[in-house]
Amino acid sequence: MYRKPEAPERSEVAALTLDEEGNILDCNFAAEALFGYESTELLSRHISLLFPQFEDSSLLDGVKLNPKISFMCHCGRLFRVRDRRSRPLVGELHIVELGNSGMRTFRIIVPVESVMPEFPS
């Protein structure tokens, strides 16, 4: 039976698993609660649904992780986050490549405590 996720604890991390095209393969309960979607609604959707900056950037650059995205994640740059209600949010994002039998997959990790309202500059 499906259990509706409650609001994530601030110490939790929202985690999403992606294929090399940037399509969502899986997510945890903290991601469901943070973004306001059930996992079934996110499966096979492109990550740009939740992170608009991925609309213009490919996850891969040839055979490796896009160096621009990797650099921004490493520096702790804030990414725009879009939840189901389209609230203007920003948060940290970390990407790691997962070893998987023959299929390249990536894990996006969002520390819940890093997500906050985006203020106009």
Indicate whether 65 belongs to any domain: yes
Q: What is the pTM of this model?
A: 0.83
The count of structural domains within the chain is: 1
At 120, the pLDDT band (50, 70, 90 cuts) reads low
Helices (H), the chain: 29-35, 39-42, 67-74
Q: What is the pLDDT of residue 109?
A: 95
At 4, the pLDDT band (50, 70, 90 cuts) reads low
Domain that holds residue 45: 13-117
Indicate whether 89 belongs to any domain: yes
pLDDT digits (tens, 9 = 90+) for 12-69: 899 999 998 999 999 999 999 999 999 999 999 999 999 998 888 888 888 888 888 8
Angstrom CA distances, 101 to 44, 62, 98, 104, 105, stand at 20, 20, 10, 8, 10
Indicate whether 2 belongs to any domain: no
Indicate whether 8 belongs to any domain: no
pLDDT digits (tens, 9 = 90+) for 66-108: 888 888 888 878 999 999 999 889 999 999 988 766 778 999 9
Which CATH number goes with the domain that contains 101?
A: 3.30.450.20
Angstrom CA distances, 6 to 19, 24, 35, 107, 111, stand at 27, 21, 12, 22, 16
- 37 close to 45: Cβ distance less than 8 angstroms: no
Question: Which residues, in sequence order, are CB contacts of 43 under 8 Å at separation 6+?
Answer: 24, 25, 26
